[in-house]
Every structure is written in structure tokens, then in C-alpha cells.
Amino acid sequence: NSKLRHVEKDVLVPQIMRERAKELCSDKVQAFTKCCQESGLLMVVKCRQENAALKDCLVGYYSDPSFYEECKTEYLKQREEYRATGIKKKRQTLTSNV
């Protein structure tokens, strides 16, 4: 059954989208984080360029219908596995050795 409830459509699938978009935009996330750490309280002024690049990258993924469908498919697989086994599987995240 691939029909989604309201909470799945509006909360759970977008949550997967956010996680995956952060992974796919990890270079921009790291650049923004580094800028913020170096700038301290002046980060609002000094990190505008990094913030804009990060925002553009994330919004690009959030507004992509095919990316939404990928994440929806991933969610449906997780839901199907949970319903079959009763065990919630945590999503693996890529970690960088920084």
C-alpha cells in the first residue's frame, strides 16, 4: 500500500528530504559552519555568501519533485520493513573524517 497519511506526507517524508539534502550539500554545510566558527558574533554579516550558497543548494533539492519521489520511495521501503518485522531501522548517515 503506497498511500501516505497526512503526517507521513507533510512530516516524515520531508524529514528524510532534509537529511539527504544536508548530506548532498555537505561541502556547503561545512563551509558555512567553518565561517560561523571563525566569525563568532559577526557571522551574520561575514557569512552571508556561504549562507546563500547553502540555502540555494538545500532549496534546490526541496523543490525538486523527483527528489521528493526518491525520498517517498525510501520512506515507503522503511515503513514496509517496519510493518513486516516490527523493528525500526535507523538510517545510516555518512560521516566525514574531519
What pLDDT score does 25 carry? Answer: 96
| pLDDT tens-digit series, residues 13-72 | 999 999 999 999 999 999 999 999 999 889 889 999 999 999 999 999 999 999 999 999
What pLDDT score does 88 carry? Answer: 78
Which residue type sits at 34? K
SS3 string of 19-64?
HHHHHHCHHHHHHHHHHHHHHHHHHHHHCHHHHHHHHHHHHHHHCC
- Predicted TM-score (pTM) of the model is 0.77
